Amino acid sequence: DAGITQSPRHKVTETGTPVTLRCHQTENHRYMYWYRQDPGHGLRLIHYSYGVKDTDKGEVSDGYSVSRSKTEDFLLTLESATSSQTSVYFCAISGEPGSGYTFGSGTRLTVV
């Protein structure tokens, strides 16, 4: 499988606490994405990056911020976690045209 790793795999946190999820790739791909998956909503884009320090919002970006200081790392931060952010979070990467998108194994986040 492509070199994409998400950490942590599981996390339980309390409402109001900050949380950072990490996506790490070894493919030197330009594009990186964060999605969340919820029952009844499928996969929805939170934020994406098209290069180092270049990021943009997706369709469900409220309450989330991202950073990309290196090609290989894309961080998703929940500044103050809420119960509505309980979800499974997936990172994806995309490189040259024709290469498609590859997803990480996901992070299951529970906010209590």
Residues making contact with another protein (CB under 8 A): 30-31, 33, 42-43, 45, 48, 50, 58-59, 88, 90, 92, 94, 97-103, 105-106, 108
Please give the single-letter amino acid code of residue 80.
S
In the complex with another protein, which residue's Cβ is closer, 69 or 99? 99
In the complex with another protein, which residue's Cβ is closer, 1 or 14? 1
Structure-token pair, residue 10:
């599981």
User: In whole angstroms, how large is the CA radius of gyration of the chain?
Assistant: 13
Rounded alpha-carbon distances, angstroms, from residue 3 to 36, 63, 105, 108: 20, 28, 11, 20
Nearest to 33 by CA among 86, 84, 94: 94
In the complex with another protein, which residue's Cβ is closer, 17 or 110? 110
- CA gap 62, 76 in Å, rounded: 12
Closest approach of Cβ 84 to another protein, in Å?
20
Closest approach of Cβ 87 to another protein, in Å?
12
Closest approach of Cβ 6 to another protein, in Å?
11
In the complex with another protein, which residue's Cβ is closer, 86 or 94? 94
Closest approach of Cβ 47 to another protein, in Å?
11
Residue entry with tokens 């996901």: 106
